[in-house]
């Protein structure tokens, strides 16, 4: 199968993770642009180069693409980009011509612009540092009350006008994509609700698009991976099992639907079927929260896992969503008591939001399940990466860092590497990077060390003959 993939940006979870997933099946020919042409925290993607790259691709079975990347230069630029509606419209019309020339199924997604409830402007326009919370409140209460909130009087008119115009531009562009969908351009088109709450302009826009026939989903970064999963032919029967079943109606942080609806939606989007345990191909365990979803980095606590967990005698995978942005230490400790390094283990994820974890997890499981040329080493590499990132770094080491520090990170991660090595029966030498020079994401890369009896014997023989040679000299 030949697949092309245009990521949201160059973060590890957006660029490296899809490659790790595709490598699980060696029969997949996976095409992805060079990382340097994709957007970052402070720069936009080279859209002209990406257009040329798309044009020169060979005949493909499927194309998975982020429309935000090709319209604005990335997910973050879609919120910051100063270009007008007319300029963006002209650009995407060129994209449409390119895609119409491709004899491939196109799986695409576009974000519904988020509204962050904070005053951090790292990923927003400069004025968000002062007015972000007030803009969020204005959006929330206007939608909730179905009338303009009085908070508008607290925000300078030029700032509010700019914000509203940016939203209007992105919304109108999304309506164009929806028209293309109706014309048959896309096999699947998803509008993602990124970092949303119960009310807000983004939720309101999603409701309008849905009435027009659109397919919307809560989440963002995992959506391309869900579409990758959807492009893989075949249907897995999945049985979701909540470890806190009485609390599956609770809503995750940064989402607007219950964890149960999020799970069912991610299974559906991946092109899989929901069933009971007896008839399932794979059991999906969800370590969900009992009260509220915790978040270690934001110092939001919640009740950790306190039961016994035993892996089943059939294929299974685990979405650890008790905390956002990191694993539940108690659950991982309990999980490691089990033998998880076997053929029944189909993956672990505790990455960022609940939707992020679920979408990426199901994608890896589906690729492994239907792999024509299964690469066991690639699957193990994926799991090592996820445990080191989601558990070791996000849930533990990150809290001990004040700023990105490779040397300190490397030292603090050693004990976790040793624990994981024993659990997964592997020896690795790990390198860490902070590609966006912030603590939010770390990049994990490693080399394998396989110390077998033969390799040790050969090494000792080499040392012996080398020493004899030096003595004779």
Share of the chain above pLDDT 90, in %: 85
DSSP H/E element including 216: strand 216-218
Report the alpha-carbon distance of residue 315 to residue 238 in Å, rounded. Answer: 10
Helix (H, G, I), strand (E, B) or coil at 398: helix
Report the alpha-carbon distance of residue 286 to residue 122 in Å, rounded. Answer: 32
HEC profile for 156-170?
CHHHHHHHHHHHHHH
Q: Which long-range contacts (CB under 8 A, 24 or more apart) does 394-402 make?
A: 394/296, 394/297, 394/325, 394/326, 394/327, 394/350, 395/296, 395/323, 395/326, 395/327, 395/328, 395/329, 395/332, 395/350, 396/329, 398/296, 398/297, 398/326, 398/439, 398/442, 399/296, 399/297, 401/439
pLDDT at 470: 54
Q: How confident is the model at residue 384 (pLDDT cuts 50, 70, 90)?
A: very high
Q: How confident is the model at residue 460 (pLDDT cuts 50, 70, 90)?
A: low
**Helix extents (H) in 291-392:** 329-335, 354-370, 376-386
What single DSSP character describes residue 258? B
Residues 171 and 154 sit within 8 Å (Cβ to Cβ): no
CA atoms within 13 A on the CB side of 163: 24
Of the listed ranges 14-23, 193-202, 220-229, the least confidently predicted one is 193-202
pLDDT at 451: 46
- Of 22, 440, 23, 27, the closest CA to residue 227 belongs to 22
Architecture category of domain 235-403 in CATH: 3-Layer(aba) Sandwich (3.40)
174-193 pLDDT, tens digit per residue, is 999 999 999 999 999 999 98
CA atoms within 13 A on the CB side of 395: 27
**CB atoms near residue 29 (< 10 Å):** 13
pLDDT at 467: 57
Report the alpha-carbon distance of residue 60 to residue 103 in Å, rounded. Answer: 7
Residues with Cβ within 8 Å of 424's Cβ and at least 6 positions away in sequence, in order, are: 340, 341, 380, 383, 384, 387
Are β-strands 345-349 and 316-320 bridged in parallel, bridged antiparallel, or unpaired? parallel
Model confidence at 238: pLDDT above 90: yes
Report the alpha-carbon distance of residue 470 to residue 473 in Å, rounded. Answer: 5
Share of the chain above pLDDT 70, in %: 95
303-332 pLDDT, tens digit per residue, is 999 999 999 999 999 999 999 999 999 999
Of the listed ranges 10-19, 63-72, 244-253, 440-449, the least confidently predicted one is 440-449
Triad 469, 470, 473: Cα angle to 5°: 90
Report the alpha-carbon distance of residue 275 to residue 284 in Å, rounded. Answer: 11
Helix (H, G, I), strand (E, B) or coil at 123: coil
Residues with Cβ within 8 Å of 319's Cβ and at least 6 positions away in sequence, in order, are: 263, 284, 285, 286, 287, 349, 350, 354, 357, 358, 361
User: DSSP E strands: which ranges in 290-436?
Assistant: 316-320, 345-349, 428-433
Structure tokens at 77: 């630029």
pLDDT at 84: 96
Mean pLDDT value of segment 443-447: 93
Q: How confident is the model at residue 18 (pLDDT cuts 50, 70, 90)?
A: very high
Domain edges within the chain: 2-230, 235-403
Are β-strands 2-6 and 29-31 bridged in parallel, bridged antiparallel, or unpaired? parallel
């Amino acid at each position: 199968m030949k697949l092309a993939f245009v990521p949201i940006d160059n973060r590890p979870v957006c660029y490296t993770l899809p490659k790790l997933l595709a490598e699980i099946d060696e029969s997949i020919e996976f095409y992805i642009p060079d990382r340097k042409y994709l957007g970052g925290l402070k720069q936009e993607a080279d859209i002209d180069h990406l257009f040329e790259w798309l044009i020169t691709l060979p005949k493909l079975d499927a194309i998975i693409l982020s429309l935000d990347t090709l319209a604005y230069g990335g997910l973050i630029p879609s919120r910051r980009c100063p270009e007008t509606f007319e300029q963006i419209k002209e650009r995407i019309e060129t994209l449409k011509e390119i895609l119409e020339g491709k004899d491939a199924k196109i799986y695409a997604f576009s974000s519904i612009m988020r509204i962050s409830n904070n005053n951090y402007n790292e990923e927003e326009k400069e004025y968000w540092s002062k007015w972000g919370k007030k803009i969020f409140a204005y959006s929330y209460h206007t939608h909730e009350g179905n009338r303009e909130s009085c908070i508008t009087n607290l925000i300078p008119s030029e700032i509010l006008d700019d914000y509203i115009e940016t939203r209007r531009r992105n919304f109108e562009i999304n309506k164009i994509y929806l028209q293309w969908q109706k014309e048959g351009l896309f096999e699947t088109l998803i509008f993602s609700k990124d970092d949303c709450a119960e009310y807000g302009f983004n939720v309101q826009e999603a409701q309008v698009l849905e009435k027009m026939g659109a397919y919307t989903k809560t989440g963002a970064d995992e959506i391309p991976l869900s579409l990758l999963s959807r492009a893989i032919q075949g249907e897995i029967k999945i049985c979701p099992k909540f470890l806190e079943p009485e609390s599956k109606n609770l809503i995750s942080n940064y989402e607007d639907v219950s964890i149960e609806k999020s799970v069912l939606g991610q299974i559906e989007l991946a092109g899989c079927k929901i069933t009971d345990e007896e008839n399932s191909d794979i059991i999906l365990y969800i370590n969900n929260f009992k009260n509220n979803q915790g978040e270690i980095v934001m110092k939001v606590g919640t009740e950790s896992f306190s039961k016994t967990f035993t892996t089943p005698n059939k294929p299974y995978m685990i979405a650890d969503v008790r905390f956002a942005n990191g694993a539940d230490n108690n659950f991982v400790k309990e999980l490691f008591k089990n033998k998880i390094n076997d053929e029944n283990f189909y993956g672990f994820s505790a990455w960022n939001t609940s939707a992020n974890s679920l979408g990426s997890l199901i994608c890896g499981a589906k690729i492994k399940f239907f792999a024509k040329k299964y690469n066991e080493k690639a699957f193990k590499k994926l799991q090592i990466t996820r445990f080191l990132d989601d558990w070791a770094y996000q849930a533990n080491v990150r809290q001990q860092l004040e700023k990105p520090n490779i040397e300190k990170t490397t030292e603090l991660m050693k004990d976790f590497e040793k624990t994981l090595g024993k659990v997964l029966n592997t020896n690795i030498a790990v390198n860490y990077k902070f590609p966006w020079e912030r603590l939010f994401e770390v990049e994990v890369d490693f080399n394998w060390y396989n110390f077998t009896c033969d390799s040790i014997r050969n090494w000792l023989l080499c040392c012996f003959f080398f020493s004899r040679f030096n003595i004779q000299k």
